[in-house]
Structure formats: C-alpha cells, structure tokens
Amino acid sequence: MTNDALQNPKHSVDGPRALGDETPLYSGSVHYFRLARSAWRPALEALRALGAHFVDTAVPWNVHEKDAGRFDFGDDNPRLDVATFIELAADLGLRTILRFGPTLAAGLPFDGIPERVVWDESCMSRTRSGAPRLVAALPAAYPAPSHASRAFQDHAAVFLRAAAERIAPLAGPGGPVALAIVGDEHRPAVLPEGSARGDHHPDAIAQYRRFLKNRYRNVAALRRIHGAEATFEGVEPPSDDGLADPDTLGARLDFIEAQEAIVEGAFYRYRSVLDKHGLRGTAKLCELSDPRSRAVVDPLRMARVAGGVSLEIRAEASEQGLRAVAARVSSEGSRAAVRDEPVFVSKAYSGFPADASPRSDADDLFVAMTALAYGARGIGIHEVVQRDRWIGAPIDAHGRTRKSAEQWRRLFAALTRTRHPMLRRVADVRIAVPRMLMRLGFLTSAAAFSPNARTVEPLAEALETDADPTRGALSEARDFVAALERCLERARVPYAFVPAEGLEKKAAEAAWTIVVCPGALDVALMSAVSQRLLVGEAVSVGPRAPERDGHLVPTTARLPSLQHPKVPLVLPRGPATLSELVATALDALDVARLPAEPEVVRTTLHVDPDGRPRSLFVLNPGSDEVRATVSVPRATRAHDGMSGENVVVTGGTAALTVPARTVRLLALDTDS
C-alpha cells in the first residue's frame, strides 16, 4: 500500500486508516482449522456478540500442505476451507484479518512451517560456527528458519501464492478480507546473547555485505568502522571477542542493523508474492512481537514496506507492566500519527498457554485497557476461542461463552459509546528514544534497551562491570529515563515515548521534547535536533551531550548553543538536579498538568478532534484498592463506561474507588 493510500481516507484500497474511520478495529482470533466445521458458526456468532467487527485467523503453511507444492484448502478436509470460513464470517457481519506466515506464533508445531522445510539444511538459520540455530520449543527443539535464505523464501513463496490465489476472490476494496498480517514471528531475527548471535546463513552474510556497500559506498569509509583490511567482498560479521572494546561497537551496530534489513527484505518479498497473486488491494501489516522476544525488527523499516504495523502486547498486571505497555504503545502512537493511522494492538492476550504461569481474567483486562489508555485505538483478543494447550479463552470450542467473555463485551461496548477510535491522548512532553539504544542493548547481552529495563527486563550483569563496551553510557541512559519518568509523574504531567528518528519527519506536537542521548547521536538525528533548536522548539538531550556519531566514533559536530533557550540543552542524570531542572522547565513552558491522588494512580485524558475531553482512564497498578481523586478538565458529568455507574464531578475533579490492578474508563460530558 502506498503512503498516499494511507493518508487519503477516500482511496479505494482499505487500510488501517480507512478501517479505523469506518469500522472500529475490534477483533478476536478464531482458528478455523482447529474447530469442527459445525462449530464455526457458533464461535463466530459468539465473537460478534462480544462487539467485535473482525475475526483474526491464521492460514498455516504446515496445516494446508499435503506434499511439496500440493495444498488442501478444503477440497479433502472440510476444516481447511478457509474461503468458506471467510464467507461465513462476512454473512455474520465480521470481516477477516488473515495471518499469513510463513512463520506463525499460533501454538503450531515448527511455528507453522512444514517439517520437510524445517530440516532442509539450506533453509536453516546459522550460528557463527555454521551450526543450525535452534528454537527451544516443546516437545522438542528445532532449527530456526533463515529469512535470508533464498531457498526458504522460494519454498514460502509457493505456499503464499497458493493461499493468495485461493483467497483472491474475497479480497479487494470492501471485500470480506480486510487486512493481512505477514510474518507474525521472526525467529531467526533474534539475538539471544551478544552481537555475534545473528543469522550467519551464507545468504545472510551476502546480504550483510550488500548492506555495508550500500551504506559506505567506498572502501575508505568502510575501513573507518570495520578495520584497515576490510573489503566489501570479504568483510565478516564481528565476533564477540573483544566485546569490551568500544572501538569495535560501530561494526557491531552495523551487523545488528543488517539483521533488521534482512527481515525487511524478506517481508517485502512475502508481501510482493501476495500482491502479485490476488491480494494487491488488501493492506499488509507487520506485527511487532513483544520486546521480550528480543526480535531484531526495526518498526521504521517495517512500516516502510508494509501498509502499517500492529503490536503484540504481553505484560504483567503491575506497575512495571503498566510502564512497559505505556512506553511501547505511546511510541508506536507517534509513528502511527505520522502515517495518519490508528494504533492497532492486534494481539492482546486472553488466557495463557499450558506451559506458562497462570493469569487471571482481570490481569488480561488490565493489560488491554492499559494499552487503550496510552493510545491504542483498535484491539484484538488473542485466542478468543479455546484451542489445545491454551487455558482461559472466553469462548469454548463449541462456541459457548464463558464468564470472562462478559468483560470483553463490556469493554467493546464502552469503547463504542465513548467513540474511542476517534479520540487522541493528550501528552505535552515527549521522551524520544533513538533506535541505537535498542541496538546497544543487544550488544551488551541485554534483551534490548527499555526505558524501564531495570524493573521489567533487567540488563545483564555485564552492564555493571568494566566489560561494558559503552563504558556505562547505556546504563546511565536507562537510569536517566527512569529518573525523568519519576519527575514527570510527580508533577502529574502526561508524557509519551516516541522514536527519536521521527523527529526528522514531522513538526513537534508537544510542548517539550527530551531526546535520550548516551553521548552519541546519528548524524541525521543530530541534524534534526539542531534544526528544531534553531527554529525555537523546546528540545533537550540527556544524560549526556552528543560527542560521538551513530557508530560511537568521536565527532566534531555539536548541537547549537542558544543564547536564551526555552529549556536546558542538556539534562543531567542526577535525580536532585534533574528534578529541579524539570520543574523549572515545566513552569516556564506552562505545561498542562493532570492531577490525581494517591500517588499510585495514573490517568490519561483523551479528547475528540475538536479538543473536547471525552474520556479519562484511571489506572491503579497497585496491590491495594484505593479511593482516587482525579482531575476531569472541563467535564461537568462523568460515568463509568463499562458499568454505567455515575461518578460525581465537583469543581473539575471526580472521586471514585479503583480496585487493585484495575483500570476504569470514565466517559466525560462537557457543556461546550
């Protein structure tokens, strides 16, 4: 899908933008191939009764393949008639979101890949030593596929073509097939431990070398980062030897970014096959896996070759879980705003796999509502219908609803009444996180850089030792963000995380932008920050001023020094000094506050296109019930969107009880 199509709601091709305007993106996953055909209608009717408008279903390669190049789409096994399933859903008022592989995270053996392909040596992702990279899965480990492998891509293209041709009559503008999610799981694009753990398949090495040639253009530039003997034809990926040497970081960052480019290229080919064989008029999304999977997938790259991206959200119902979801959803919200699309959480969990820690229905609702509170406009319930090795689905395998179904029905109804898809969250302060920080996290054996990494995904002990190749810069940046969050939360100032690379593309929509800088910024990002400073925008960096470029190489480039800046150019990490500087800057900028008591309570305000407050989420991630007092700007009346309970508003504030680990959605009325 073209950018023009995404930005023009009148364009004839459906996409997230158009769907978000016309029909709310509320969905649930139903796997036709796992259900008796007689259970299809009851399951879909139960989903529609919850208030969903879309059914999400996987189209698994290894389920449909009978033999190499031969597929059953219902001719032999009626359960596999995906076209009839889509038509039945349409008859019941549900459009379909299709998940094409080639890899699928749907509880399938080998992630949905045929066993013959899994064990094909030409398709296996490789370690640096040449051994197959294994996926630790029950009942047995197996080799991860290499998305760089031309052999694997060729195998996948045969299946994708067959599936597209079968479904093509149902695709196109206004047809039953609304969206296609391609990929769904990027197993080989994972760095388990350290920078040398990417895919070393021969095709991946060849793509790595092409990546470097496109980046550097001439050998002199290549050798500045990759060593005096490097050539485009013979350069090898870095090893983990000498990881503590900061002078080697540039080459390691290149290798990680090349892995991101490999996933982008594979997605482009998979999407192109679907387009060529009948699904050109169907928007293609890339679903971003939960960060704990450590998938090396760059959202900006994927959005470039997809019609948009969606999110998988997994978190605990806790303060730490709230922070993780808030950071992730608000960051994607910034990217989506540039594309004029809604943020779609395509996979919010309901229940848990049999080999995972138990979760309650209330935990699932807390996480889903937290995502909505921080900017998600559409949401999909993962595993809404019971399957094998899954516990807690709201609908059983016969289409009968369980007790937990009611909470989702009430949520969808509340979102509809408050017109949630048409609203936007108010946040006047932005914390901009460069992609480089994520890559540095991979380098140091951390899962990834996370604003709340200390409490959500603890960094490896290497970060706290002399072996840290960033010499403490990454750890310092992490602590800086945590301290900054505390300052803003104490001041009750709404803030959002944004990708720093987005600063290059769109004018600021916030009162203050704070760029997280570990002492280094990419050249393009340095230029973008400088331009914003020179035109008078309120921009700060911290905890260090940039003195190195995006490869961690010393540079003479510096940010401009302004005579009368609106805010400090550099914010230090020290909590006491940082707190004073933040408080002074907020007062000078007259940033709006959103008071709430007690301290554990969080609130997010959502306004309509005319700027009128329409809803307020009140979040209590704590372990005790609280009596909360919250600001409801300009509101004269309020009621709970899910229960209908009236909430008394007096002088712009409301008082309400919020149980432990609960989110309440208040619908607001204003006189103007």
Select the more confidently predicted residue: 152 or 458.
152
CATH 2.60.40.1180 describes domain 596-670: yes
Write down the pLDDT at residue 357: 86
> Rounded distance, CA 432 to CA 501, Å?
8
pLDDT digits (tens, 9 = 90+) for 492-516: 999 999 999 878 766 557 899 999 9
- In degrees and rounded to multiples of 5, residue 72 shows phi and psi of -115, 115
Write down the pLDDT at residue 507: 55
Contacts of 280 by beta carbon, 8 Å cutoff, 6+ apart? none
> Rounded distance, CA 198 to CA 238, Å?
10
pLDDT at 345 over 50: yes
pLDDT at 4 over 50: no
Percent of the chain with pLDDT over 90: 69
> Rounded distance, CA 430 to CA 333, Å?
12
pLDDT at 566 over 60: yes
- Say if CB 341 and CB 306 are below 8 A apart: no
**Tally of CB atoms within 10 A around 338:** 16
CATH 3.20.20.80 describes domain 3-195+264-423: yes
**Tally of CB atoms within 10 A around 246:** 15
**Mean of pLDDT values over 615-642:** 96
> Rounded distance, CA 214 to CA 155, Å?
28
- Say if CB 652 and CB 594 are below 8 A apart: no
Q: What pLDDT band is residue 672 in, cutting at 50, 70 and 90?
A: low
**Mean of pLDDT values over 638-652:** 94
Geometric angle at alpha carbon 80, from 78 and 83, rounded to 5°: 95
Region of residue 611 (left: phi > 0; alpha: psi -120 to 50; beta: else): left
**Tally of CB atoms within 10 A around 99:** 26
* CA 345 to chain CA mean position, Å: 8
Q: What pLDDT band is residue 291 in, cutting at 50, 70 and 90?
A: confident
CATH number for region 429-589: 3.40.50
**Mean of pLDDT values over 222-245:** 86
Encode 372-410 in three state secondary structure. Answer: HHCCEEEEEEECCECCCCEECCCECCCCCECCCHHHHHH
DSSP code, position 276: I
**Mean of pLDDT values over 390-409:** 94
> Rounded distance, CA 460 to CA 335, Å?
29
Length of the chain: 672
Of 634, 640, 603, give the one whose Cα is nearest residue 618: 603
pLDDT at 634 over 50: yes
> Rounded distance, CA 589 to CA 511, Å?
7
pLDDT at 19 over 70: no
pLDDT at 456 over 70: no
pLDDT at 402 over 50: yes
Write down the pLDDT at residue 340: 79
pLDDT at 416 over 50: yes
Q: List the chain domain ranges.
A: 3-195+264-423, 429-589, 596-670
What is the overall mean pLDDT for the chain? 88
pLDDT at 565 over 90: no
Burial 494-520 (b: 16+ CB within 10 A, else e): bbbbbbbbbbeeeeeebbbbbbbbbbb
pLDDT at 637 over 60: yes
pLDDT at 302 over 50: yes
